[in-house]
């Protein structure tokens, strides 16, 4: 009987890939291994949104009911870390055990977010990251009235955590971003300005841009922070949101090729033909002619399904349709496409109050749309991008040419 082993019981492996194998009629043995202990596998986006805010029950995080794995004859091994892969022997090592596979899927996600080095106070109590359920459960009691929180990093996760802190009320919230502006890595100045204004008006969050954290202070627990411009802050707790890296440790040690993640072909196969990869950990070709890696739920779901089909021999290419979202206060941001390489941004007010969208172009080609409370703009943009079409730049819009 063919044995498929899946390492990583998150969005790609734990929910999508194993389900697709069974839905497609795979009747061999499936073993799903995950190092986290929470049963069953769960989704991460609410961790920095509704769940952290206390507006979502734990059960609603679960990607599948616990019974799903039994019912589908999937051996679920949680709280279990795979230590190594031996591709020539086709085994994975778990402690003293060597488990044989016929085909292996790596859905190892991203490594825990970068923590601050201990030398600058990263190991003090009260310094948190937002990656897993354990992190968020440990941080939640800190959100009490009159406490001062410092958020390090102005990407989407840092901004979502700031919005939660502000919404809970009674907290003093400061966010520092080392780059010139929040969201610099992922969005145009228009989108950064929109969110800076939103945090100023809704939450009273103090956003400091072009200023980094120099170091944290405190004996065992964090009590203060010194910023790179010399400012000193008193703080009660810190949330670090300064980025993640693809989970490539196992793949690298096993000698698989890497290229900004575990390198796969368009069908999700790694440099070893019996090993596939999907989700945050995998980079794949081609999107607009280049190899990319995506850190998003829709990619994890779709790519893992394609990998499941290819493990069954279908031979289909994965065609990425990137989209993403962020919730902050009463704003839902929906992003279609990828904006890399844009030269022009067009701002379009939406039909409803407060709705606005930012359209990224390269020449005449539409690359991406950031739509804030404007699902219609998002849907139109997504359809156009996926169809390889553009939209005229006329209408009530403001045009900015970037350098
Ligand atoms: P994961 O879901 O991270 O699963 C990987 C699993 O592999 C982990 O459980 C890990 O413990 C396990 N693993 C790794 N190595 C081993 C090993 N050696 N042995 C056993 N198990 C191992 N995306 C969006 O699209 N929209 C959002 O709004 C959004 N918000 C987010 C908010 C937060 C706080 C976070 C952390 C992420 C967010 N994301 C969002 C990103 C999204 O959650 C990820 O892109 C998605 O979870 C990727 O799925 P994955 O299966 O590749 O990885």
Residue 170 confidence class, pLDDT cut points 50, 70, 90: confident
396 pLDDT higher than 50: no
Q: How far is the CA of 361 from the centre of ligand 1 (A)?
A: 30
CA of 12, closest atom in ligand 1: 51
Which range among 25-39, 82-96, 111-125, 216-230 shows the weakest confidence by mean pLDDT?
A: 111-125
Mean of pLDDT values over 263-292: 96
3-state secondary structure of 198: helix
3-state secondary structure of 129: strand
Q: How far is the CA of 109 from the centre of ligand 1 (A)?
A: 5
The residue whose CA has the least distance to atom 41 of ligand 1 is 296
Which range among 237-246, 247-256, 331-340 shows the weakest confidence by mean pLDDT?
A: 237-246
> Residue 357 in contact with residue 378, Cβ under 8 Å?
yes
Beta carbon of 203 within 6 Å of any ligand 1 atom: no
DSSP state of 393: S
167 pLDDT higher than 70: yes
pLDDT above 90: percentage of residues in the chain: 88
| 58 backbone φψ class: left, alpha, beta (φ>0; ψ -120 to 50) | alpha
pLDDT at 381: 96
Mean of pLDDT values over 238-249: 92
401 pLDDT higher than 60: no
pLDDT at 393: 55
Residue 39 confidence class, pLDDT cut points 50, 70, 90: confident
403 pLDDT higher than 50: no
Using a 10 angstrom Cβ sphere, with 0-12 exposed, 13-18 middle and 19 or more buried, the burial of residue 320 is: buried
pLDDT tens digits for range 292-317: 999 999 999 999 999 999 999 999 99
Strand locations in 162-205, DSSP E? 172-177
Beta carbon of 249 within 6 Å of any ligand 1 atom: no
- What is the b/e burial string over 267-294, where b = at least 16 CB atoms within 10 angstroms of the residue's CB? bbbbbbeebbbbbbbbbbbebeeeebbb
Residue 244 confidence class, pLDDT cut points 50, 70, 90: confident
Q: How far is the CA of 192 from the centre of ligand 1 (A)?
A: 25
> Residue 336 in contact with residue 387, Cβ under 8 Å?
no
Paired sense of beta strands 213-217 and 224-227, if any = antiparallel
116 pLDDT higher than 90: no
Q: How far is the CA of 293 from the centre of ligand 1 (A)?
A: 13
Beta carbon of 35 within 6 Å of any ligand 1 atom: yes
2 pLDDT higher than 50: yes
CA of 130, closest atom in ligand 1: 34
Residue whose structure tokens are 């063919």:
2
Ligand 1, residues 11, 86, 292, 298: which to mutate, most atoms within 8 A of Cβ? 11
The residue whose CA has the least distance to atom 46 of ligand 1 is 297
Beta carbon of 44 within 6 Å of any ligand 1 atom: yes
268 pLDDT higher than 70: yes
Mean of pLDDT values over 76-105: 98
Residue 203 confidence class, pLDDT cut points 50, 70, 90: low
3-state secondary structure of 374: coil
Q: How many C-beta atoms lie closer than 10 Å to residue 349's C-beta?
A: 16
397 pLDDT higher than 70: no
3-state secondary structure of 47: helix
Q: Going edge to edge, which strands form the sheet with 262-263?
A: 262-263, 282-287, 290-292
Residue 394 confidence class, pLDDT cut points 50, 70, 90: low
Beta carbon of 81 within 6 Å of any ligand 1 atom: yes
Beta carbon of 124 within 6 Å of any ligand 1 atom: no
- Average of per-residue pLDDT values in the chain: 94
- Cα separation, 360 vs 85, in Å, equals 42
Paired sense of beta strands 282-287 and 275-277, if any = unpaired
């Amino acid at each position: 009987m063919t044995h498929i082993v899946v390492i990583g019981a998150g969005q790609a492996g734990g929910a999508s890939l194993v389900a697709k194998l069974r839905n497609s009629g795979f009747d061999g043995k499936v073993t799903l291994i995950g190092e986290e202990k929470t049963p069953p596998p769960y989704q991460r986006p609410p961790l920095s949104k509704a769940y952290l805010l206390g507006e979502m029950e734990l059960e609603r995080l679960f990607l599948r009911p616990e019974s799903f794995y039994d019912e589908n004859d999937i051996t679920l091994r949680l709280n279990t870390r795979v230590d190594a892969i031996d591709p020539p022997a086709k085994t994975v090592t778990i402690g003293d055990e060597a488990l044989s596979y016929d085909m292996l899927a790596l859905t190892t996600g991203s490594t825990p977010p970068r923590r601050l080095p201990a030398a600058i106070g990263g190991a003090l109590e009260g310094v948190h990251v937002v990656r897993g359920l354990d992190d968020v459960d440990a941080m939640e009691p800190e959100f009490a009235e009159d406490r001062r929180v410092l958020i390090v990093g102005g990407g989407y996760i840092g901004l979502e955590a700031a919005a939660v802190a502000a919404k809970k009320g009674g907290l003093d919230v400061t966010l520092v971003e080392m780059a010139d502006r929040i969201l610099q890595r992922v969005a145009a100045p228009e989108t950064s300005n929109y969110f800076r204004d939103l945090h100023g008006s809704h939450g009273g969050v103090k956003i400091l841009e072009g200023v980094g954290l120099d170091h944290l202070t405190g004996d065992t627990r964090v009590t203060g922070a010194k910023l790179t411009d010399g400012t000193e802050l008193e703080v009660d707790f810190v949330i670090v949101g300064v980025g993640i890296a693809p989970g490539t440790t196992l793949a690298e040690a096993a000698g698989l090729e890497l290229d900004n993640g575990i390198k796969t072909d368009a069908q999700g196969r790694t440099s070893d033909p019996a090993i596939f990869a999907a989700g945050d950990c995998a980079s794949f070709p081609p999107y607009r002619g280049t190899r990319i890696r995506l850190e998003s739920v829709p990619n994890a779901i779709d790519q893992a399904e394609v990998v499941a089909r290819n493990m069954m021999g279908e031979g289909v290419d994965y065609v990425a349709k990137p989209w993403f979202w962020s919730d902050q206060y009463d704003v839902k941001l929906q992003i279609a496409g990828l904006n890399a390489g844009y030269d022009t941004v067009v701002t379009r007010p939406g039909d409803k109050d407060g709705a606005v969208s930012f359209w990224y172009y390269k020449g005449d080609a539409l690359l991406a749309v950031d739509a804030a409370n404007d699902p219609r703009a998002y849907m139109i943009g997504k359809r156009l991008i996926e169809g390889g079409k553009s939209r005229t730049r006329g209408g009530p819009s403001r045009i900015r040419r970037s350098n």
